[in-house]
Amino acid sequence: MSSRRSRSKNSSPGSSRISEDRINELISQLHQLIPEMHNSRSDKRSAGKVLQETCNYIRSLEREVDDLSERLSELLATTDANHAALLRSLLMQ
Amino acid sequence: MTTTHPKNPTTHPKNPTTNPSSVIRTRFAVRFLHAMKKLNKKTPPSRRYHTIRAAACASMASAVGPRRAWSRAILRKIRARTLHDHLIHKSRNHRLITRRKSAGLRGNPRDQEEVGFRQEDDLRGLVPGGEGMGFCRLLSETAHYIKCLRAQVQVMTNILDHYSSS
């Protein structure tokens, strides 16, 4: 699998020109997704900073899912909800 | 439930029934609720959190299906876990991750504009299946993964609100 070919950190600058543009495009896409960076001046941000914020954002989303799972498990223990009604109401949105 | 969705959600009109994020939310919600219904009857209270957490992950991967590398990676892992010994799989994963980390430490991120090895390796560790893909693929998979995580949080929050209020 040629997974390492696209990362041309050590090769000549000419050969990595096209993939650099593509990478910048993808990085700015990520930049748009992250809520903190979206508000600040969205100019030429360093790629490393975007990746760092991306990692932090993914971790916080995962933590949120953990927390929601925790609360759902507690809730299931106490209530006996009507699943069909829930499904219908959610599908309406 | 077959729906087509464009690859570029920004140009698609925000029709509530067919925009891609709404499709994902619905597919996830249906699967997740079915999983929770099954769980209620036969799961001991001590395993509930773990089962719900795993169901959330599996439902998301199943809703996305095999068209993304990250969802394929999760589905593969789930299938492997049910077929093989859980401990063997865990030790194999751990060896892969430690090998990648030591490769990353040899890198030298001097330039502020260049991507440091460490952030990239961190990202590879966070995105399912991120270990074996090229950098461009990793970035595009990350974007989709984040969108789906957000959808997951939205749906689970909605479910929680409905449960709490009823």
* Three-state secondary structure of B50-63: HHHHHHHHHHHHHH
Q: Is A76 on the interface with B (CB under 8 A)?
A: yes
In a domain? residue B66: yes
Looking at residues A76-80, what average pLDDT do you find? 65
Q: Global pTM?
A: 0.72
Report which of residues A13 and B87 the model is more confident about.
B87
- Enclosing domain of residue B77: 20-165
Q: Which amino acid is at A74?
A: E
Instruction: Please give the tally of structural domains in chain B.
Output: 1
Report which of residues A5 and B158 the model is more confident about.
B158
Q: Is the pLDDT of residue B106 over 90?
A: no
What ipTM score was computed for the predicted complex, to two decimals? Answer: 0.71
| pLDDT bucket at B123, cuts 50 / 70 / 90 | very high
Q: A91 to chain B nearest CA, in Å? A: 6
| pLDDT bucket at B157, cuts 50 / 70 / 90 | very high
Closest listed residue to residue B123, CA positions, set B107, B102, B100, B99:
B100
In a domain? residue B9: no
Please give the share of chain B, as a percent, with pLDDT higher than 70: 69
Instruction: Give burial (CB, 10 Å; 0-12/13-18/19+) of A87.
Output: middle
Q: Is the pLDDT of residue B109 over 50?
A: no
In a domain? residue B3: no
Is B115's CB within 8 Å of A68's CB?
A: no
Torsion sign (Cα): B27, B30, B36, B39 = negative
Is B166's CB within 8 Å of A79's CB?
A: yes
CA distance B55 to B48: 10
The predicted structure's pLDDT at residue B110: 44
Looking at residues B93-104, what average pLDDT do you find? 49
Each residue of A10-69: pLDDT tens digit? 445 555 555 788 888 888 888 888 887 555 655 556 888 889 999 999 999 999 999 999
In a domain? residue B1: no
A44 sits in the region (left: phi over 0; alpha: psi -120 to 50; else beta) called beta
Cβ atoms A31, A47 nearer than 8 A = no
Cβ atoms A58, B125 nearer than 8 A = no
Q: Which residues of B touch A54 (CB under 8 A)?
A: 123, 142, 146
In a domain? residue B8: no
In a domain? residue B2: no
In a domain? residue B103: yes
Q: What is the mean pLDDT of chain B?
A: 78
What are the structural domains, with CATH classification, of chain A? Answer: 18-91 (4.10.280)
| pLDDT bucket at B86, cuts 50 / 70 / 90 | low
CA distance A56 to B87: 29
Closest listed residue to residue A23, CA positions, set B125, B104, B133, B115:
B115
The predicted structure's pLDDT at residue B15: 58
In a domain? residue B5: no
The predicted structure's pLDDT at residue B148: 96
| pLDDT bucket at B111, cuts 50 / 70 / 90 | very low
Q: Is A33 on the interface with B (CB under 8 A)?
A: yes
Q: Is the pLDDT of residue B66 over 90?
A: yes
Min mean pLDDT across A25-29, A56-60, B39-43, B120-124 is at B39-43
